[in-house]
Chain A
Amino acid sequence: MTEVSMSVNGRKTSGAVEDRTLLSHFLRETLGLTGTHVGCDTSQCGACTIHMDGRSVKSCSILAVQADGSEILTIEGLAEGDTLHPVQAAFKEHHGLQCGFCTPGMIMAATDMIRRHPDGLTEATVREELEGNICRCTGYHNIVKAILAAAEAMGDGRARAA
């Protein structure tokens, strides 16, 4: 067993893991953060998407030991108290989920996507950027709508703050 420690949603955490333990497994089983879902387990579906050191990654394709010392953000770390993150709020407002299984990964992918496109997003870009996240309900239309709305809202926020 190897002791790993990382910052998860702003809190220092640590745990003993086998070297072969996947980061998704560590988050879910050791830390109890079950918001990160494991869908396909073949690194295609994106339900396990989280942020590591500020970038979206698939936590089922990374070992917990590889993430030792890093900063992790999961779906549980997005909201501020009772206030949903703008992307979460947009998914709620625009009905960007059906069964909800892919939603944590979609939202983590969306927040990263919005970060990387500070000048705004187009529908085509959003659809292209979502290629690593699969929705089995095929509810893409409202997911795209929600991401575009969130990007717009967050862009406005930045403009006001500036």
Chain B
Amino acid sequence: MYEVNYHRAGSLEEALKLLKDADDGKLISGGQTLIPAMKTRLAAPSDLVDLRHIAELRGISVSGRTVTIGAGTTHAEVASNADIEKICPALCHLANLIGDPHVRHMGTIGGSLANNDPAADYPAAMLAMSATILTNAREIVAEDFFTGLFETALEEDEIITAVRFDAPAKAGYAKFPNPASRYAMTGVFVVQDGGAVRAAVTGAGDDGVFRSAEVEEALAKDFSPAALDGINVPADALMTDIHASAAYRAGLIVAMAKRAVVMANG
């Protein structure tokens, strides 16, 4: 790891100031992606601004079906939250599939969203549930937030403070994890709410998380796994890497969507 200057912020204002004053500063929360990236020198910020001790970024509140999760909330805290489990168990299930128990004790939802790894789990849930990402400056709907591989709508001096969504009537998530990294080789989050069906795919898209029109169309007619039999998901905008070809991932999208629907239907 290259040299770095560490700063611990006590408040959001202090974090913004530290970030502004830094030459090439980066925000760190759990650091479960950033620290490994710095160790391999894929990332080499001049300064780290630690958000982990900012109380206002932590915590979960559930009011009716509206869920608000502070950006600094860990995956373990989301996975084990009884209030979310009652109205949106799919999100707890998703959080519990990230990394491993030790990573989940450190990694945070805000960090995952800000990083927007194309194989991360949370982006699929946020997009499928039309979540709103709250920052120090504004509110951004998920559709506008994820803009590409590791790219988001966040400005340089913008910090995610929380995410907010209304728990849909039905939701399910299934992923095919890479056996080594546990990142999604393909993960699908499906939602049915009123007449609307949404299906967001992570780990497969050439340009990060996206909604599958084919899956949504089939499930809108019949929200059952059988409705996905024989549907054709095009492979042309999907990722090919050492783990799987685009065609294989196209197959995984259908398979994972089926499993997600089974979960959503309980």
> What separation, in Å, do the CA atoms of A34 and B239 have in the docked complex?
42
B17 to chain A: closest CB distance in Å?
A: 19
> What separation, in Å, do the CA atoms of A56 and B76 have in the docked complex?
11
- Does B181 lie within 8 Å of A57, measured CB to CB? no
Interface centre among B32, B48, B101 (most CB of A within 10 A): B101
Chain B, residues 92-121, CB within 8 Å of chain A (1/0): the string is 000000011111011000000000000000
Determine whether B50 belongs to the interface, using a CB cutoff of 8 Å to chain A: yes
- Does A44 lie within 8 Å of B180, measured CB to CB? yes
> What separation, in Å, do the CA atoms of A63 and B40 have in the docked complex?
14
Q: Chain A residues near B35 (CB, 8 Å)? A: 22, 43, 61-63
- Does A66 lie within 8 Å of B99, measured CB to CB? no
Size of the B side of the interface (Cβ < 8 Å), in residues, is 29
Q: Chain A residues near B102 (CB, 8 Å)? A: 46, 49, 56-58, 109, 112, 132
Determine whether A138 belongs to the interface, using a CB cutoff of 8 Å to chain B: no
Chain B, residues 38-60, CB within 8 Å of chain A (1/0): the string is 11100000001010100000000
Determine whether B150 belongs to the interface, using a CB cutoff of 8 Å to chain A: no
- Does B101 lie within 8 Å of A112, measured CB to CB? yes
Chain A, residues 38-66, CB within 8 Å of chain B (1/0): the string is 00011110100100100111100111011
Chain A, residues 99-114, CB within 8 Å of chain B (1/0): the string is 0000000000100110
- Does A58 lie within 8 Å of B6, measured CB to CB? no
> What separation, in Å, do the CA atoms of A46 and B50 have in the docked complex?
24
Q: Chain A residues near B106 (CB, 8 Å)? A: 57-58, 61-62
Determine whether A129 belongs to the interface, using a CB cutoff of 8 Å to chain B: yes
Determine whether B65 belongs to the interface, using a CB cutoff of 8 Å to chain A: no
- Does B76 lie within 8 Å of A46, measured CB to CB? no
- Does B100 lie within 8 Å of A62, measured CB to CB? no
For chain B, residues 50 to 77, give those with C-beta under 8 angstroms from any C-beta of chain A.
50, 52, 76
Q: Chain B residues near A3 (CB, 8 Å)? A: none
**Known contacts A56-B105, A57-B102; A62 and B39 CB within 8 A of each other:** no
B186 to chain A: closest CB distance in Å?
A: 19
- Does A41 lie within 8 Å of B100, measured CB to CB? no
Determine whether A158 belongs to the interface, using a CB cutoff of 8 Å to chain B: no
Determine whether B26 belongs to the interface, using a CB cutoff of 8 Å to chain A: no
- Does A20 lie within 8 Å of B4, measured CB to CB? yes
For chain A, residues 25 to 46, give those with C-beta under 8 angstroms from any C-beta of chain B.
41-44, 46
> What separation, in Å, do the CA atoms of A131 and B102 have in the docked complex?
10
Determine whether B148 belongs to the interface, using a CB cutoff of 8 Å to chain A: no
- Does A57 lie within 8 Å of B31, measured CB to CB? no
Interface centre among B32, B38, B103 (most CB of A within 10 A): B103
Q: Quick one: which of A19, A109, A132 contacts B99, CB cutoff 8 A?
A: A132
Determine whether A18 belongs to the interface, using a CB cutoff of 8 Å to chain B: yes
- Does B103 lie within 8 Å of A19, measured CB to CB? no
B39 to chain A: closest CB distance in Å?
A: 7
Determine whether B259 belongs to the interface, using a CB cutoff of 8 Å to chain A: no
> What separation, in Å, do the CA atoms of A41 and B36 have in the docked complex?
8
Q: Which residues of A are in contact with B by a Cβ distance under 8 Å?
A: 2, 18-20, 22, 41-44, 46, 49, 52, 55-58, 61-63, 65-66, 68, 109, 112-113, 116, 129, 131-133
Q: Which residues of B are in contact with A by a Cβ distance under 8 Å?
A: 1-6, 8, 28, 31-32, 35-36, 38-40, 48, 50, 52, 76, 99-103, 105-106, 180-182
For the complex of A and B, list the 10 residue pairs with the smallest distance between their C-beta atoms, beginning with the closest.
A132-B100, A19-B6, A55-B105, A65-B6, A20-B1, A56-B102, A131-B100, A58-B102, A61-B35, A132-B102
| 20 other A-B residue contacts (CB within 8 Å) besides A19-B6, A43-B32, A61-B31 | A19-B4, A19-B48, A20-B1, A20-B3, A44-B181, A46-B100, A55-B76, A56-B101, A56-B102, A57-B102, A58-B102, A61-B35, A61-B36, A63-B48, A66-B31, A112-B101, A131-B101, A132-B102, A132-B103, A133-B100
| 29 cross-chain CB contacts under 8 A | A19-B3, A19-B4, A19-B6, A20-B1, A22-B39, A42-B39, A44-B181, A46-B102, A52-B105, A56-B102, A56-B105, A57-B106, A58-B103, A61-B31, A61-B32, A61-B36, A62-B31, A63-B6, A63-B48, A66-B50, A68-B8, A109-B102, A113-B101, A116-B101, A131-B100, A132-B100, A132-B101, A132-B103, A133-B100
